[in-house]
Structure 1
């Protein structure tokens, strides 16, 4: 296959992947706790072809030469990585006691996802729009759940249960939950399982604002190197507020326009290469 066609074809496919990343960011502008992503390109294998060897080179020509002694032929580029931007989004006041935000950009709520064996596996989320629904097993307690129905976990990885009939719910910055009953009685209702993710580039999106970690053993990394429980004095929970997405609309639109131009130029190089091949074929006939 013509090397120019191969390089252009590969690059077109990778630009489409970056376009999908930008489109995903724009589509989630209104998603609570969403973190934008930015695709990074890497060069594929390239080959250096020199126009002449140093033994036959004219010393005068080489002394005055400003351009390389040959050309570099590449195989295109690929999306090498998709970096998550953890910068803090703006906070929106809601007044709902079950709406929570985190002001530390590396802290996450622990959420339970049902695994293949039916057991809860930890996931992580910045989306603090929670609900409290009756527990089917016990009508006297409420389960603290995400909008999509996953249980919110405590530091021990267990679902958080709230007393039914509370009139007010108070959550401090450390994530300690206190339920105020109609008679004024205050009941300790649990603790949010807050963690700090030290290597956010390892997080894999599972949709609905949830992230999981890959098999860390294959990467030679321990879980304690990636996820660290948040100390009580380092919590950053804000009650009655939600964190908006951190998508920068202006940046995404500029990236979208640049990617469209890059796609057009790369597609044009395919057309030009095809025309040149046709010209060569016509000369050989």
Structure 2
């Protein structure tokens, strides 16, 4: 295998990852609150050949001296794009939509290691029976929604009406006329590049986060106390995905053409080696 084949093969594997990312974006175009990912590339290490022994002969050269032979490109980052999606009015009391970018609800998910706190932008809430005269506020997948103190929101009694203010305060009016008030747990994402998609429209920190030596306060800002005035929530509406199908299709075509170009490079390199081996 010559250098051309190695370079093309390295790039092909990375282009496949980008195609998978675009496919995932397109598959979630109708997912509430879904945020698309965007790939950025960087070149791999290159080899420098200093073929000119006399530097003075390169005095008027506009490009760097020598010959630089690369080994392909790699996927440098899968950036989470937190741009606001369109708002769809539903008039359902437990449907909510963020109107501020970068804000996420906190939910608790059961895992092999216990309960993990994850984050979602999907504001379609539901009520799940927990016990006698107890209702648990959950997502569409049954994951409990947390309040600002990281406790599940449990409604005691028979609810009659729901009101959610712009700063994320849930007021439940009971059948006996009393009100139960809860503050929804909301965080502001400062560095979305640290978030990983955990499935079911949930986001979380990577498994190797502790080894990154990055304070969690630099990634999230807990919107509690006076900071709750920064929360922007609209009741009776849902945020749609921020995926633009036309843009994704255009990007997919470009990636497919790059993939074909790299594949063609391997074919041509194989034909050249066949010609060399056929010389008598």
Give TM-score, length-normalised by structure 1. Answer: 0.91
Query: Where does residue 191 of structure 1 map in the other structure?
Result: 183
The alpha carbon displacement at 1:64 in A equals 6.2
Superposed displacement of residue 65, structure 1: 5.6
Aligned length: 276
Query: Structure 1 pair 69/277, CA: closer, same or farther in 2 (3 Å)?
Result: farther
Partner of 2:48: 48
C-alpha distance in 2, partners of 1:109/1:239?
Answer: 14
Q: 1:174 and 1:130 mapped to 2: Cα distance?
A: 17
Matched residue, 1:128: 123
Q: How does 1:92-111 map to 2 (within 5 A)?
A: 92-111=88-107
How far residue 151 of structure 1 moved from its aligned partner, in angstroms, is 0.3
Match of 2:204 in 1: 212
Partners of 1:64 and 1:110 lie apart in 2 by: 60
Residue among 196, 202, 205 paired with 2:194: 202
Larger Rg: 1
Match of 2:146 among 141, 145, 153: 153
Deviates more, 1:107-116 or 1:158-167: 158-167
CA separation of 1:282 and 1:113: change in aligned 2, threshold 3 A = same
Partner-residue secondary structure (3-state), 1:217: helix
Q: Residues 179 and 65 of structure 1: is their aligned pair in 2 closer, same or farther, counting only changes over 3 Å?
A: closer
- Residues 1:206 and 1:70: Cα distance change in structure 2 (over 3 Å): same
- TM-score (norm: length of structure 2): 0.93
Structure 1 residue 182 displacement after superposition: 3.4
**CA distance in 1 between partners of 2:63 and 2:146 (Å):** 62
Q: Distance in 2 between matches of 1:222 and 1:172?
A: 31
Shift in Å, 1:111: 0.5
Change (3 A) 1:172 1:65: closer
State the 1:117 CA deviation: 3.9
Q: d(CA) in 1 for partners of 2:229 and 2:29? A: 32
Q: Find the counterpart in structure 2 of residue 28 from structure 1.
A: 28
1:225 maps onto 2:218 in alignment: yes
The whole-number CA distance in structure 2 between the counterparts of 1:130 and 1:101 is: 11
**Aligned partners of 1:207, 1:17: CA distance in 2, in Å?**
17
1:261 matched to 2:254: no
1:263-285 CA-to-partner distances (Å, cap 9, x unmatched) read 111111111111111111122x3
SS in 1 for 2:8: helix
Partner of 2:132, secondary structure, is strand
3-state SS in 2 of match to 1:167: strand
Aligned-residue RMSD, C-alpha? 1.8
Moved more, 120-129 or 214-223: 214-223
Unaligned runs of 5+ in 2: none
CA separation of 1:7 and 1:167: change in aligned 2, threshold 3 A:
same
Q: Is the 8 A contact 1:216 1:222 kept in 2?
A: no
Equivalent of 2:246 in 250, 254, 267: 250
Match of 1:75 in 2: 71
